[in-house]
Amino acid sequence: MIVLLMLLGAGLVYIALQYLYKKRWSKNLTVDVKFNDKYAYVGSETVITETITNKKALPLAYVNLKFKIDKSFDFGNEDSNSAVSDNTYRNDIFALLYYQRVTRKVPVKCTKRGVYMIDTIDIVSSGVFMNDVLVAQYPENTGITVYPKQADVDRLNIPFSKVMGTLERNRHIYEDNFMFRGIRQYETFDSMDRINWKASARAGTLMVNQYNESVSQQVCILLNLEPDGMIRYDKLSEEGISITSGLSRLLIEQGISVSLYCNGCDYETKAPIQVVSDRGLAQFNNINTALARIDLDIEMQEFSENILNVINSESKTENNMLYILISASRRKALQLNMQGLSRTYECMWIMPFHAGMDTTLYYCNINTTEWEVER
């Protein structure tokens, strides 16, 4: 009889412990997963910080923190992920004592441009006797924008030299007196000879003089990502995006105003990309952010019929504008539009291509740089 009572008591304790554990294991348990950086470049490394806090007297011997992330992120040699379509699941195991916080920093390499979010965290634990599976879900809101890889600077020297030669030629045509406009804080790309040392001493930080030019030099980059035919060459499109990023950096470093029009669409708004003309580090970030947000899977407008019409209507007063088209496509309508644009404005064409592709322009006669891309 005593043995039966002991067994009954043990059974009741077992049931009670299981019930209490299931009810309380996730209470006062907080989870936080964050990218350490808001922005990164393709090829660079960032860190994901995982923090889990157990704010109660009940220890947790086994906690599996799981979240879904794009499979383009490279966690190195760690075999903790399982791929599901375009995503992968990150799994990290924790053991928590009572009232303990554990923080883990996970290095990860960014291999593909884009905007990436982590919106849900799953926490999986075992029962008190390791005989059950307990799951809790936590909302999260952390993300990172991965800027495109910039095209090789050495290869950019040829088109960049052509651009600067054209701008220098136009500078003599439109050269005018400078007029002082004001003072602002120094940015990375500002020339040292524009620093106002007296104003800097008063402000305690570097300040530069701003000037108005009767005609300022501007470059508009036209990025065409539509294919020539039914076959889509994503490598050429991605290289065009990289060229745009690298070229805009070189131009902005020279103090030149840069704008961008592209028929590639924003992944969220589904609208073609447009960055209005500006200069400085902030503009470089604006362009890179816009490039990162392009989704090549969204159907895009035909470049020649839509975006060039917008450019023509907006540039009537910008006589010193230089247009740089970056396009692997050589559609007849596009060539004719560029030829027409070149009658009023300076124009250049940078053409990404694979070996064996025809790069002849039959309906357009403008300054062209061919840019070979490995298949």
Residue ranges per domain, the chain? Answer: 27-147, 153-176+216-372, 180-213
With tokens 């470089």, the residue in question is 284
Confidence band of 59 (pLDDT split at 50, 70, 90): confident
| Contact criterion met (CB below 8 Å) for 133 and 124 | yes
The whole-angstrom separation of Cα 98 and Cα 11 is 26
The whole-angstrom separation of Cα 77 and Cα 79 is 6
Closest C-alpha to 334, from 220, 218, 228, 221: 228
Lowest mean pLDDT among 109-118, 153-162, 167-176: 167-176
Model pLDDT, residue 342:
87
The whole-angstrom separation of Cα 207 and Cα 2 is 89
Average pLDDT over residues 245-250: 93
Model pLDDT, residue 207:
80
pLDDT greater than 80 at residue 128: no
Model pLDDT, residue 101:
94
Model pLDDT, residue 228:
78
pLDDT greater than 80 at residue 83: no
Give me the CATH topology for the region 153-176+216-372: Rossmann fold (3.40.50)
Alpha carbon distances (Å) from 241 to 69, 225, 230, 347:
24, 9, 20, 19
Model pLDDT, residue 267:
95
More confident residue, 316 or 96: 96
Model pLDDT, residue 213:
46
Average pLDDT over residues 300-320: 67
More confident residue, 229 or 12: 229
pLDDT greater than 90 at residue 298: yes
pLDDT tens-digit readout, 230-241: 778 899 999 999
Model pLDDT, residue 69:
93
For residue 41, the cross-strand partners are 147
Handedness of CA 130, 132, 138, 143 (dihedral sign): positive
pLDDT tens-digit readout, 197-227: 777 777 788 887 765 543 457 899 999 998 8
Model pLDDT, residue 36:
96
Does the domain made of 27-147 have the CATH classification 2.60.40.10? yes
Closest C-alpha to 73, from 42, 46, 108, 45: 108
More confident residue, 26 or 303: 303
For residue 53, the cross-strand partners are 30, 101
pLDDT above 90 as % of the chain = 47
Confidence band of 181 (pLDDT split at 50, 70, 90): low
Confidence band of 35 (pLDDT split at 50, 70, 90): very high
Taking the model in full, what pTM does it have?
0.81
Model pLDDT, residue 50:
96
Confidence band of 244 (pLDDT split at 50, 70, 90): very high
Average pLDDT over residues 264-272: 95
Confidence band of 179 (pLDDT split at 50, 70, 90): very low
What residues have CB less than 8 Å from 23, skipping those under 6 apart?
A: none
Model pLDDT, residue 282:
93
What is the rounded average pLDDT for all residues in the chain?
A: 82
Model pLDDT, residue 17:
53
| Contact criterion met (CB below 8 Å) for 135 and 79 | no
More confident residue, 263 or 154: 263
Model pLDDT, residue 152:
84
Model pLDDT, residue 86:
77
Q: What's the 3-state SS for the chain?
A: CHHHHHHHHHHHHHHHHHHHHHHHCCCCEEEEEEECCCEEECCCEEEEEEEEEECCCCCEEEEEEEEEEECCCECCCCCCEEEECCEEEEEEEEEECCCEEEEEEEEEECCCCEEEEEEEEEEEEECCCCCCEEEEEEEEEEEEEEECCCCCHHHHHHHHHHHHHHHHHHHHHHCCCEEEEEEEECCCCCCHHHECHHHHHHHCCCEEEEEEECCCCEEEEEEECCCCCCCCCHHHHHHHHHHHHHHHHHHHHCCCEEEEEEEEEECCCCCEEEEEEECCHHHHHHHHHHHHCEECCCCCCCCCCCHHHHHHHHCCCCCCEEEEEEECCCCHHHHHHHHHHHCCCEEEEEEEECCCCCCCCCCCCCEEEEEECCC
| Contact criterion met (CB below 8 Å) for 92 and 157 | no
Model pLDDT, residue 191:
65
Q: Which of 68-82, 160-174, 186-200, 279-293 has the highest mean pLDDT?
A: 279-293
